[in-house]
Every structure is written in structure tokens, then in C-alpha cells.
């Protein structure tokens, strides 16, 4: 049973380009969460998705950031027109279906560097 898979592990983008980060949850998990960790800071929640639905996007910046979790395929976090301040580690986590407060398991993260 593979864990949460994220790719790419490292991504370098020039200012103004688009960044696409992918996350495949653990088998049997239908809830996906994206977190961002800026240098020297803690993990901050960005968005919570279930298949084809955004449940909570309260942590997403208002502009340039979007997320989806289609019926088929991985969840995608998309950052348009990247700026240097977007450089961070982006972690995806997944948890099983249900309303309980279950453990969440993290992928290895994507380290985005904007040059």
C-alpha cells in the first residue's frame, strides 16, 4: 500500500510561470489536504478537498492559487504567475472517509523554488 505520493519532489520556476503540484492520496483515502511550509515557519493549512469538491479553502491565497481533486487522477495544486514569495515546501496529506478526526498521512512534499 503506497503512501501519499507527491510529484515533482523539486520544482524550479521563473517568476511569472505556472507551477503544478500533484498529489495522489493513500489507497482508500478520499480526503486530501494541502499545506504550505515557508522557510523557517510552521505548516499552514491551505485547502481541503474530497473527490470533485472543495470543502474548505480558507487557507488559500485569494489570487493565483487554485486546487482540484477530480474524479479520476491526482489532486492538483496550481499556482499561476509565481512570485519569489511562493518558494516553499508544499505538503499534501490524506485521510480516510468519514467525519471522525482521523490521522492524516503526509507525502514527501514538493519544494518549489521561484527564481
Among 51, 76, 105, 113, binds another protein (CB under 8 A): 105
Residues 84, 104: Cα–Cα separation, whole Å: 29
65-104: contacts with another protein (CB under 8 A): 89, 91, 93, 95, 99, 101-104
Among 1, 2, 41, 63, binds another protein (CB under 8 A): 41
What residues does 76 pair with on adjacent strands?
A: 22, 68
For another protein, give the closer residue by CB, 54 or 76: 54
Among 56, 73, 78, 83, binds another protein (CB under 8 A): 56
| CB-neighbour burial class of residue 18 (10 A; exposed 0-12, middle 13-18, buried 19+) | exposed
Amino acid at each position: 500500500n503506497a503512501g501519499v505520493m507527491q510529484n515533482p519532489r523539486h520544482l524550479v520556476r521563473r517568476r511569472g510561470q505556472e507551477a503544478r503540484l500533484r498529489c495522489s492520496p493513500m489507497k482508500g483515502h478520499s480526503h486530501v489536504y494541502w499545506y504550505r511550509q515557508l522557510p523557517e515557519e510552521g505548516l499552514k493549512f491551505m485547502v481541503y478537498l474530497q473527490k470533485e469538491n472543495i470543502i474548505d479553502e480558507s487557507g488559500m491565497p485569494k489570487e493565483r492559487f487554485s486546487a482540484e481533486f477530480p474524479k479520476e487522477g491526482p489532486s492538483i495544486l496550481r499556482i499561476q504567475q509565481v512570485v519569489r514569495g511562493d518558494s516553499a515546501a508544499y505538503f499534501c496529506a490524506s485521510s480516510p472517509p468519514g467525519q471522525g478526526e482521523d490521522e492524516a498521512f503526509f507525502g514527501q512534499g514538493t519544494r518549489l523554488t521561484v527564481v
